[in-house]
Amino acid sequence: MKTLKIKEVSFSVAKKYLLQSKITNQPSRIKEAVQKIIFNVKKNGDKSLIKISNKIDETKFKTVSEASFNKSDLKKNYEKLDSATKKNLNFIKKRIINFHKAIKISDLKIKDGIFNFLGQIHKPIEKIGIYAPGGKAVYPSSILMTALVARVAGSKEINLFFPSSSENAKILMLGTAHLAGITNAYNFGGAHAIAAMAYGTETIPKSDKIFGPGNNYVAEAKRQVFGDVGIDSFAGPSEVLIISDKKKGFEELAADLIAQAEHGEDSKCIFIQIGKEGLEGLFKEISRQVSVAPRGKTIKTALEKNSMFVQVKNLEEAIEINNLVGPEHLQIIYKNFKESLLKRFIAGAIFIGENNTAVLGDYAAGPSHVIPTNSAARFSSPVSIEDFLVRTSVTEIKSIKNKAKYNELLDNSIFLAELEGLHGHANALKLRRK
């Protein structure tokens, strides 16, 4: 009894489909609209920011100050939160801080007989801009998952932007911002918020790097401002891939798929069943849960349009399909799974075990839930403390202890400089021979 039109395919069909599929670019209408928004905010500052917000988000701001909140404002909103909300936000805060404090990053300093020292130093990025998405839901967790990591790294100024929403949602976001140590918060969303972060306005300070997921317009805006400002990643729709060898009892796994699908109609859910049995039972459970889910229509669209259910013979085939996807979230439910296999998987975040779920990663696990999507796990990583630091190389020669080695170093560099036709470089080195 399969009430959903779910795409069920074999290993060979899934492999062929994934090998042929390409990451789609944003439609030209989105690119052009975002380009215009960025141009106007960059040129006209506060005036354009207010005008665009009032038009797109149907706000009624007359000045940026009306949508601005300082530390005192944030604290007042935190005090409006009920005790249960405060308790649970603080619980997550503690786990995020503890996890990221455990990541050890140290400066490097070595001697080699020529240089007094060679090394690298790390320092925090000073001005961070954070985007917390809105839309069909509000995401206070996204504030904690970025701002707290920035605080652990030592960033001095952290400004938050979030779309206009209901009064209760605004109180929740601003209260969470206080807990996360936000400097200032601004009630602006969309591409215009990214432009304001990237270039600053008369009221809003320019950021050095921008973090946080958003819709297609936000993603395109981040793409267009990249280079003028740093960004964390180009986040796309939410993704989960589940590998399972279960034969029965699919209530929890169906719920895990639905949890990702409810993010939006463009969410991607892939389920890989190892062995011949299992999928029919899973389909029944998904249909049952979708029929009573508050966001049933959104979930149904995501599962029917962007999702795939694959039957494979063994774990090797499952790994091959997974690595063609490179999912944001990977769940592994496999009897006697060996930890030594972990490095064979391409994924932004991996969740092992039947009692584990990607949803724990969204909230209380500890690592940031800002994770690469669209196969970007092949070359990028979840947001972590390193993303809020810059690394600088340092060399020092004050005194020359070994002239022969020093001259050998110079002669080598002189040879290469002349080989490249850079005679000014060579001369700067020749003048230093001892």
Question: Which residues are tagged catalytic?
Answer: 328-329
Phi and psi of 26, rounded to 5°?
-65, 145
238 in a known ligand binding site: yes
Q: CA 83, 86, 92: angle at the middle one, nearest 5?
A: 140
Write b or e for each residue in 42-57: b if 16 or more Cβ atoms lie within 10 A of its Cβ, otherwise e. beebbebbbebbeebb
263 in a known ligand binding site: yes
Q: Which of 232, 227, 307 is nearest to 267 (CA)?
A: 307
100 in a known ligand binding site: no
Residue with the two structure tokens 């080598």: 412
Under 8 Å between Cβ of 38 and 339: no
Judged by phi (left if over 0) then psi (alpha if -120 to 50, else beta), residue 374 lies in left
Residue 211 CA neighbour count, 13 Å, CB half: 29
58 in a known ligand binding site: no
Judged by phi (left if over 0) then psi (alpha if -120 to 50, else beta), residue 216 lies in alpha
What is the spatial distance between Cα 98 and Cα 100, in angstroms, rounded to a whole number?
A: 6
Q: Which amino acid is at 298?
A: T
Q: Which of 5, 11, 3 is nearest to 314 (CA)?
A: 11
82 in a known ligand binding site: no
The count of residues in the chain is 434
Under 8 Å between Cβ of 90 and 191: no
Task: Pull the structure tokens for residue 319.
Answer: 């790994």
Write out the DSSP string of 20-53: H--PPPPPHHHHHHHHHHHHHHHHHTHHHHHHHH
Q: What is the DSSP letter of 207?
A: P
Residue 373 makes CB contacts below 8 A (sequence gap 6+) with 233, 235, 236, 237, 238, 239, 328, 348
Under 8 Å between Cβ of 131 and 162: yes
- Which positions make up the binding site? 238, 260, 263, 329, 362, 420, 425
Binding residues for substrate: 238, 260, 263, 329, 362, 420, 425
- The annotation places the binding site for Zn(2+) at 260, 263, 362, 425
